[in-house]
Structure 1
Amino acid sequence: MAASRTRAQPDPILAGRVAAVLDAAGVGPGSRLCVALSGGVDSVVTLHQLAALRKERGFVLRAAHVDHGLQPAAGDWAAFCERLCAGLGVEIDVFPVTVRRDHPDGLEAAAREARHGALATLTVDWLVFGHHLDDQAETVLFRLLRGVGVRGAGAMAACEPGAPGRLRPLLEVRRGEILEYARAAALTWVEDHSNADRRHARNRLRHDVLPCVEAAFPQAAEMLARSALNFREADGLLDELAHQDARACGDGERFSLDALRALSAPRLRNLLRWRIRCTGAEAPARARLLEAVRQLRSTTTPSLHLPLGQVACCLHRGRVWIEAMPMRAHPRPVRWCGEEEIAWSDGRVLFERRRGEGLSAALLERGEVVVASRRGGLRMSDAPGRPRHSFKNLCQEAGVPPWWRDRLPVVYVDDEPVWIAGVGIAAAARCAPGERGVLPSWWRPGAPLRS
C-alpha cells in the first residue's frame, strides 16, 4: 500500500478537467454515478475528485469494487476500498466474481469479462473509470499491433453515452500528474504487483515498449492519444455513411441484394459491420467478412446463410439482413395450457386472445395442444378450398428461409397441425367472425414471424 505524508494543496487544474467531462456528459442534480474502484491510485483519485464535486453538482455518488480473487491480497483490497468509501461517505458494493482460468483469450480477458459482467448489474446513469492518457496510449498501440480497424483504434472516449454510460474524467491526464495529485492530497491506495508482470502483453508495452518509444519521441503518448481522437472521428463518419447506405439500399434492416452489389466492396463491408453492431454483436474477423461479401457479390443461389460469429448474414429471395445465430439444440415439445407465452428455442411463442381472429379457442379447449418442431409427413391446408400441401411447399410459398424451417414452432391439436410459424393457420382451425380466437406468433431476436 502506498501513501504520501505531504499535505500540499491538490492541483486545481485536475479538478477543472474532471468538471469539464461532467459538463460534457450533462451530469447534474440527481445523476447517478458509480466509480469502478479497484483501489489503485487512478480510481482512488477519480473517487476523491468526484466526492469533492458531488455537493456542488448534486449528483449521487457510489462505488463498486470487483474482487477477482486472483491475488492473495484481494480480500485486503476489498477491505481497503470499504474503509476509503466509509471515510468519504460513499456507499460501496463489493462483487466477488469467479474468473475463468480457461478463457480462450487469456486470464486478463477473463478477468475483464467477469468485471464488466458484475458492473453491468448496477442501476446507475454513469459508470466512472480511472483510465488516463497513458492507458489510452497503451490501448491504441496494443490494438494497432493486433490489426484492428478504425473503430478499434479509436480506443476509449472520455464520455460514452449508454445505459449506463461510461465516463473517464482523467483520460487526458498523464499518470505522473495523477500521482502528484495523490501525494499532494495525502491519499492512500493499493499497489497491484501483477501490473509489473511482463508475462502480460499490456505490461510489456507499458514497461518495455512505450518507454523506448518515448525516449526517441518524447510526445509519443500524447500523439497516440491524439490519434485515437482522429480514429474516433473517422469512425463516426463511417457510421454516417453506413446509415445513408442502409436507407438507400432498403429499410435500414433489410437490404436489396442488387443495391448492395452496386456499392463498392469497402462500402458494403462497412455497411455490414455497422448493421452487425446495431444488433449488439461484435464485428466479425476481417477474413469472415471478406468471404461473406465475396459470396454476396457472386452467388447465383436464392438463399445464403453465412455465419459471422454471433450473427449470420442472410440472403433470401433478393433480400439481405443480419440475424442472431440460432440455438443448436432442437426444442422439445411443450404442452400448451393457456399461457400467454412459452419459451421456444432462443425466442418465445406468444398466444394473444382475439375476437374473430386466429385459431378457434373452442378447438383448442377441446383437444390436447402441443407446440413442437415439424414432424415427418406434415401436411396442412392454409386456405379454404386448397389441398393440403407439404411442409416444404408451405414454407416455400410463404418465403420462409431454409435455415429457419427445422426450428419453426408448430402448434398441434390432437396431433393435427393447426399453425406453423411464418406460414399461417390451417383453414379448418380458424375461428369464425365474432368467435373467440387465439392468435399465435413466434418471436426470436432478429427474426420475428407474426403469422
Structure 2
Amino acid sequence: MFAFHVHHGLSPNAGHWLAHCTDAASSLGVVFDARRIQVDDVAAHGVEQAARHARYAALGEMCRVHGVPLLLTGHHQDDQAETVLLQLLRGSGIAGLGGMEAANAAPDLLGDTGTQIGRPLLSATRAELEEAAVVFSIAHVDDESNADTRYARNALRHAVMPALRAHFPGFEARLARAAGHAQAGQRLLDALAAEDLARCATKSSLDVAKVAALDADRRNNLLRHWFAIHGIRMPSAAWLEQCWRQVSVARDDARVRVTHADCEVHRYRNQVHLSKRWNDDSVEPMRFTWNGESRVPCKDFDGAILFNEAEEGIDPEWLRQQPLLLQQRQGGERLKPGAGRPTRPLKLHYQALGIPEWERPRLPLLHAGKSLLFAAGIGMHWQPEVPRSSPGIVIAWERTAGAAFTPV
C-alpha cells in the first residue's frame, strides 16, 4: 500500500498539509510519495479545472513509478451529489449526469490505461465521515479554499445544498441513485456504439458512408464513443455536429481538417481519421553519428529510428562513418524501394501506401550526408550490396505508443 499527496502550491498552508500527510503515512507504516506541481492554463480553464488536471497527472505519474494498478480516492456521497448537480447545470448529457463511478479507468487524467481509480466512500456522506474522524481520533486538516464561493462547487455546497437539504432531506442519496441509473443508460449506449463501431470502422478510421447511414442520435453516440476510447475530451454537441457536417459533405480530395483541443479530424479516401495535433515549427533537425545503437529516440517526431541486424542491409562500418541527419521532408526527395524498382518522388510512395497528407510531415527522413537513406513509413532507399564479413543493418521506424491515433 502507498499513500500519495499532491502539493499544488496554491495555499499558504500547502507545506503544512504535506508535512501532515508525511507524518500520517509514517505513523501507519505506509510508503509515502508526493509531488509538487505548477498549476498552468488557469486563464484558459480556471483554477479548479487546471488544478484538477495537474493533480491527476501527478497522481498518474506516481502510480506508474510505484506500479500501482488501483488508485483510491476519498470522494463521498456529497461530492457525488455536487458533481451531478454541476453537470446538470452545465447541460451535460447522460455521461455527465452519471457523475463519478465507483471504479473506472481514466487515461485522459492519469495518462495511461493501466491504472483504475476506485472511490470506496461514495456511499458514505460527509457527515458520516466527519463523525468517524471524531470517534476514531483521526487527525485531519481543512482546506480553507473550500469556503471560497467564487468557485462553482463551493458556491453550490454553501448556498444551494443547505436549501435542498432543508426541503428535501436525504436528497444526496437520491441523486446518487439517479447517477447510477444514468451510468446504466450510458453502458447501454456504449454497447450500441461498440456494435456500430464494429460495422463502421476500417482499421482505425470510420467509413463515411456507413456512418452517414445512421440516424443523427446514433451517429453522434458513435462519434462520442470513438472519441472516448481514444482518450479525447468530449466535445460539445454543437462542435460534434459541425465537425460531422464538414467531414461528410466534403469532396474526398478536399483538405478537410477540423481542430479539437486534443486532436484533429480528417477525411481521406472516404474515411474519417483522428490524428494528434502537430506543430511543424517545433521540429528541429537532428544530427548524429551512429555508434552501433539499436534504437535512437527522436523526441520531436514521437518515435525512434531502429537499427536492426540482418543478412542483407547497409554495411555497418560504412554507416558508422556517415554524418546522419534526421529531419522533415523538404520537398523533391526521391526513393528507390528495391532492386529493379523505379526511383520515384516520396509523394507517389505515400499515395501508393495510403499515407494521408497530414501524416507525412510527422514521418522523418534519415540522410547520410546529402543522400536519402530511409523514409519512415516507406522504407530504405535501395543500395547495391557490397561484400562484407558482418551482418548488415536494416533501418526501421517505431512510433511511440500513444503518439498517434492512426498507425502508419
The answer as to whether partners of 1:360 and 1:438 remain within 8 angstroms in 2 is no
For structure 1, which segment, 233-242 or 118-127, has the greater mean C-alpha deviation from structure 2 after superposition? 118-127
Mapping 1:11-410, distance limit 5 Å: 32=1, 62-100=2-40, 102-120=42-60, 121-122=62-63, 123=66, 124-160=68-104, 163-251=114-202, 253-302=204-253, 304-328=256-280, 329-337=282-290, 338-339=292-293, 340-343=295-298, 345-356=300-311, 361=316, 364-365=319-320, 367-385=322-340, 387-410=342-365
Alpha carbons of structure 1 residues 184 and 440: separation in structure 2 relative to 1, 3 Å: closer
Q: Secondary structure at the match of 2:396?
A: strand
The answer as to whether partners of 1:418 and 1:429 remain within 8 angstroms in 2 is no
Q: Which residue identity is paired with 1:249?
A: C
1:419 aligns with 2:374: yes
Provide the aligned length of Structure 1 versus Structure 2. 389
Cα deviation, residue 176, structure 1: 1.8
Alpha carbons of structure 1 residues 185 and 334: separation in structure 2 relative to 1, 3 Å: same
Q: Distance in 2 between matches of 1:341 and 1:431?
A: 25
Show CA shifts across 1:41-90 (max 9, x none).
Answer: xxxxxxxxxxxxxxxxxxxxx32232333333333333333443444444
Cα deviation, residue 392, structure 1: 2.8
Structure 2 unpaired stretches of 5+:
106-112
Cα deviation, residue 156, structure 1: 1.0
Alpha carbons of structure 1 residues 430 and 265: separation in structure 2 relative to 1, 3 Å: farther
Q: Secondary structure at the match of 1:282?
A: coil
Alpha carbons of structure 1 residues 360 and 373: separation in structure 2 relative to 1, 3 Å: farther
Cα deviation, residue 331, structure 1: 3.1
For structure 1, which segment, 423-432 or 114-123, has the greater mean C-alpha deviation from structure 2 after superposition? 423-432
The answer as to whether partners of 1:357 and 1:431 remain within 8 angstroms in 2 is no
Q: Distance in 1 between matches of 2:229 and 2:207?
A: 18
Q: TM-score by structure 2 length?
A: 0.84
Q: Which residue identity is paired with 1:258?
A: A
Higher relative contact order (CA 8 A, sep 6+): 1
Q: Distance in 1 between matches of 2:221 and 2:70?
A: 30
Runs of 4+ in 1 over 6 A off after TM superposition: none
Q: Which residue identity is paired with 1:233?
A: A
Larger radius of gyration: 1
Q: Which residue identity is paired with 1:314?
A: H
1:15 aligned residue: none
Alpha carbons of structure 1 residues 220 and 437: separation in structure 2 relative to 1, 3 Å: same
Structure 1 unpaired stretches of 5+:
1-31, 33-61
Provide the alpha-carbon RMSD of the alignment: 2.9
What percentage of residue pairs aligned between the two structures are identical? 33
The answer as to whether partners of 2:75 and 2:119 remain within 8 angstroms in 1 is yes
Cα deviation, residue 202, structure 1: 0.7
Alpha carbons of structure 1 residues 131 and 376: separation in structure 2 relative to 1, 3 Å: closer
The answer as to whether partners of 2:379 and 2:396 remain within 8 angstroms in 1 is no
1:440 aligns with 2:396: yes
Q: Secondary structure at the match of 2:134?
A: helix
Alpha carbons of structure 1 residues 428 and 73: separation in structure 2 relative to 1, 3 Å: closer
Q: Distance in 1 between matches of 2:204 and 2:261?
A: 19
Cα deviation, residue 135, structure 1: 0.7
The answer as to whether partners of 1:359 and 1:425 remain within 8 angstroms in 2 is no
